[in-house]
Amino acid sequence: MYKRGSVWYAHINGIRKSSGTADRKAAEAYFAKLKQEAWNEERMGAKPQRTWQEAVVRYLKEEDRNRASYGWKVGVLRWWAEQLPDNGDIRRITRDVVAEICDRSATSQPSAGNNTLNKKAGLLHHLLRKACEEWEWIDRVPKFRAYPIPESRDQWLTVEKWQLLSKMLPADLRDFTTFALATGLRSSKLTNLVWSAYDVTRRVLNVSGTRNKRANPIPLNQTATSILEARRLARTRHLTRVFPEFDGPPIKKHWRTFAKVRAIPGLEGVGIHTLRHTFNTWLAQDGVPREIRMKLMGHAPVDVHEVYTHWADQQLRPAVEVIDKMLNLNSVPALERSVADSAR
């Protein structure tokens, strides 16, 4: 052990370690602990300490950044980093520690909040399971408590419920949700949609970077086209984004409004993803073949043979026009509203 400046240092297994202190006795105790841990690892086969940060970095490195859930995982892991009392050793993440954190916001009755907690705990369990079974960093994985969640509901809307939802929303949210229903796009694709993806001549959206990495050109029906044209012709059109009001801080105000509508009897729990379910359900009810619905929604084919099957825009367009038929589209109110605004 030696001193450099005011801090004590020592070499442990050929590696220089700093005690971080000028107190000799404290430094001796710290280095004695390090030597004991090194001996346990070498002679007893004990696993070395691994930090939370090391685990998160490796976990995210092995995850697919192109998956739709990647951003959500980053946010949840950041949330756990703020909640866990000690990030120094992942072996200290026990069932009791996690339960104490989750109990602060969990409810005894089934709730959507409990469902969120279960998903967060599930991601943490997945990380620890990889640390145990794949990376061999820890010897066991704790089992976490599952909190009661509401019974599953039909996650799609009838035409009557959609009309009720549409009437209760302000104009910008109505355009956003109607476009979601008309295209079946995921929420992230809608909020990040740019004008360069819109082929005006072919009436097609060239959506790239889907969850399964497959290109997903979407032919547009009249419902979707009218909304895009209304925004494209508007005097206040954003230069790059189709729905700029859903990019950044203003989105919180929109979702607060949407949350109030979700509390209306008959619309409980309705979300943007519900409209994706509705898109697929309406097409299925009208007899649209499964392979076409999978193509429109960007799902990876189950049968390898389908990978070699390609569809032209003209073949897919009748399928998306089912939405027009379900909505009894007799006019293009969004487009008329834009033209009226431009004439003022």
Written as one string, the DSSP assignment of 181-219 is HHH---HHHHHT-BGGGEETTTTEEEE-S-TTS--EEEE
Please report, rounded to a whole number, the percentage of residues in the chain having pLDDT higher than 90. Answer: 38
Burial 116-144 (b: 16+ CB within 10 A, else e): ebbebbebbbebbebbbeeeebbeebbeb
Query: For residue 264, which amino acid is it?
Result: I
Summarize pLDDT for 57-116 with one digit per residue, the tens.
999 999 988 776 888 899 999 999 999 877 678 988 999 999 999 999 999 988 878 989
Cα angle 124-128-131, degrees, rounded to a multiple of 5 = 145
Q: 193 exposed, middle or buried (CB, 10 Å; 0-12, 13-18, 19+)?
A: buried
Running DSSP on this structure, what letter comes out for residue 241? B
Q: What is the pTM of this model?
A: 0.60
Question: Which one of 32-36, 43-47, 167-171 scores highest in mean pLDDT?
Answer: 167-171
Q: What is the pLDDT of residue 43?
A: 56
* Cα separation, 321 vs 220, whole angstroms: 8
CA-to-CA dists, residue 258 to 72, 231, 255, 334, angstroms? 20, 21, 5, 20
Sheet architecture: strand order including 7-12: 2-4, 7-12, 15-18
Q: What is the pLDDT of residue 159?
A: 92
pLDDT at position 340 over 60: no
Burial 2-40 (b: 16+ CB within 10 A, else e): eeeeeebbbeeeeeebebeeeeeeebeebbeeeeeeeee
H or E stretch covering 35: helix 24-43
Q: Which stretch of 72-76, 185-189, 278-282 has the lowest confidence by average pLDDT? A: 185-189
Q: What is the pLDDT of residue 279?
A: 94
Query: For residue 247, which amino acid is it?
Result: D
The mean pLDDT of the chain is 81
- 254-264 average pLDDT score: 75
User: Residues 180, 330, 287, 159: is their CA dihedral positive or negative?
Assistant: positive
Please report, rounded to a whole number, the percentage of residues in the chain having pLDDT higher than 70. Answer: 80
* Cα separation, 201 vs 221, whole angstroms: 13
Task: Grade residue 10 by pLDDT with cuts at 50, 70 and 90.
Answer: confident
Higher confidence at residue 321 or residue 19?
321
Q: What is the pLDDT of residue 66?
A: 77
- Contact call for residues 212 and 298 (beta carbons, < 8 A): yes
Burial 314-328 (b: 16+ CB within 10 A, else e): eebbebbbbbbebbe
Cα 40 to chain centroid, rounded: 42
- 130-145 average pLDDT score: 91
Higher confidence at residue 36 or residue 106?
106
Strands (E), the chain: 2-4, 7-12, 15-18, 198-199, 204-207, 216-219
Q: 188 exposed, middle or buried (CB, 10 Å; 0-12, 13-18, 19+)?
A: middle
Strands 15-18, 7-12: pairing is: antiparallel
Phi then psi dihedrals of residue 23, to 5 deg: -80, 120
pLDDT at position 308 over 50: no
CA-to-CA dists, residue 118 to 71, 115, 147, 279, angstroms? 18, 5, 7, 28
